[in-house]
Amino acid sequence: PKNPTVFDLVNDRGLATPWCWRRALRNAWSALAGWWSGLSPRNFVVASDGTGLSLFRNGGEPIAWDVDVDVQLYTEGDPLFNFEEFAVWSEGAAPALQQLKQPPPELVRLRELGFSWTAVRDYSARSAGWHVELQFADSAAQPTPVRVDLDAVLKAYVTAAPFPMSANLAGTRVRYGQDLQLSLTGKYGPAEKRMHKRGDLVTCHDPGHSACLPDCALREGWHERLCSEACQMEDGHDAGARAT
């Protein structure tokens, strides 16, 4: 589950997430993407949902109203380990099952980086991937680690052709393409702050608060207003020119 305190700050009060939380998200993103990319040159990373929005809003950091990391971990070839191992070595797996085998070194390394995972769902029968809910403990925070959530989808045999462009997102190389851009802007709008799959707008309910998220939505009729203001400026300029 998402951290209720941070979740409520954004959803109920319309405030930016704390700096230490955004740092933990950035560290989690960097560690997971680096782990996946380092396993094979055929692996690549695609940011999705709120994390994907950071590509177009602020590539240096997670957006200030994001509460988790959303990422697609793809490989163009065979996976280096069976994705079913995530289920075997999840936090809720039966200890008796784990005693029968050794974890793959890839997952051992993932745990060493500070990750754990709980829910694991296989959607490969629907031509999708494996959905893994991960948690990351950011030990850089003091006095106790900050724990953040990540939603990752792992899928093999995915060609990189639909993602021909690459960018640096919070220090990590990611791939993206036109379809992803259209999907994100269609879902979240060009400048509005939206949360959840249902697209709720984030609105600040503490006006004047130093962490209040500014309203950058494009209001209805903004085209007409800009046109009217431009015409007034032209009229004023012309009148001044005639007077001189």
pLDDT tens for each residue of 114-127: 898 887 887 776 76
pLDDT at residue 238, rounded to an integer: 42
- For residue 31, pLDDT over 60 is answered with yes
What is the percent of the chain with per-residue pLDDT over 70, rounded to a whole number? 73
The residue that leads in pLDDT, 16 or 166, is 166
Q: Is the pLDDT of residue 73 over 90?
A: yes
| Cβ-contact 138, 147 below 8 angstroms | yes
pLDDT digits (tens, 9 = 90+) for 166-223: 888 888 888 888 787 777 777 766 555 655 555 566 677 777 777 776 665 545 555 5
The mean pLDDT value of the chain amounts to: 76
Task: For residue 55, give both structure tokens.
Answer: 């590509």
Query: How much of the chain exceeds pLDDT 90, in percent?
Result: 9
Closest among 56, 61, 57, 1 to 25, alpha carbons compared: 61
* Cis bond upstream, residue 143 (ω within 30): yes
36-62 pLDDT, tens per residue? 999 999 999 998 887 887 777 776 777
Q: State the Cα–Cα distance between residues 125 and 21, nearest whole angstrom.
A: 36
Geometric angle at alpha carbon 11, from 7 and 17, rounded to 5° = 55
Q: 115 near 133, Cβ under 8 Å?
A: no
